[in-house]
Structure 1
Amino acid sequence: MNQYITIKEASTILGVTKLTLRNWDKSGKLLAHRHPFNNYRVYKLEDIDKVLDMIENDIFIVKKKKDELRKLAVKHLEEE
């Protein structure tokens, strides 16, 4: 029998955000199934395990979030 997990559980296992999983679903990289009652995305545990193996073997490339700071150009308006 197939075991299903929530998008939150899948994101924790894979180390990516829920938005990344939604994007992978839209692009076909990792297809989600829909819960019959609430239509939430759920993932087969075996599919998550396959993707995790591919990530560990550098077959499935995951871009990590950049931790660098950005400088913002701020203009101050002079008071009249």
Structure 2
Amino acid sequence: MTKLSDYALTAEAADILGVSQNTIRTWSKDGKIPVHRNPANGYRLFKRRDLEQFLKRIERSAKQKPK
């Protein structure tokens, strides 16, 4: 069962990924990060697991690029 604590709001997601809130909004709109909506208020919610996986993908791609 998924709990609300499994999700981060936009500000926290931005902090986790080290980017601005507008970047998080853009990435979610572009489909780079899955986004869910709170049915009660419409706020964007990001699964913490999705954010961790996104960071891992970025790290892998950075390691593969030649310096």
**CA deviation after TM superposition for structure 1 residue 58, in Å:** 2.5
Which structure 1 segments of 5+ residues have no match?
Answer: 60-80
Q: Is it true that 1:33 corresponds to 2:36 in the alignment?
A: yes
Structure 1 distance, partners of 2:12, 2:58, is: 17
Please list every run of at least 4 consecutive aligned residues from structure 1 whose deviation after the TM superposition is greater than 6 angstroms: none
Could you tell me how far 1:57 is from its partner in structure 2? 2.1
What corresponds to 1:48 in structure 2? 51
Q: CA RMSD in A?
A: 1.3
Between the aligned partners of 1:38 and 1:31, the Cα distance in structure 2 is 18
1:9 aligns with 2:30: no
Equivalent position of 2:27 in the other structure? 24
**RCO higher in structure (CA 8 A, sep ≥6):** 2
1:57 correspondence with 2:60: yes
Structure 1 segment 63-78 matched on structure 2, within 5 A: none
Query: Aligned equivalents of 2:10 and 2:19: distance in 1?
Result: 10
Q: Which amino acid aligns with 1:34?
A: R
Task: Report the counterpart of residue 71 of structure 1 in structure 2.
Answer: none
What whole-Å deviation, never above 9, does each CA across 1:22-73 have from its counterpart, x for those lacking one? 11111111121001111000100110000111122236xxxxxxxxxxxxxx
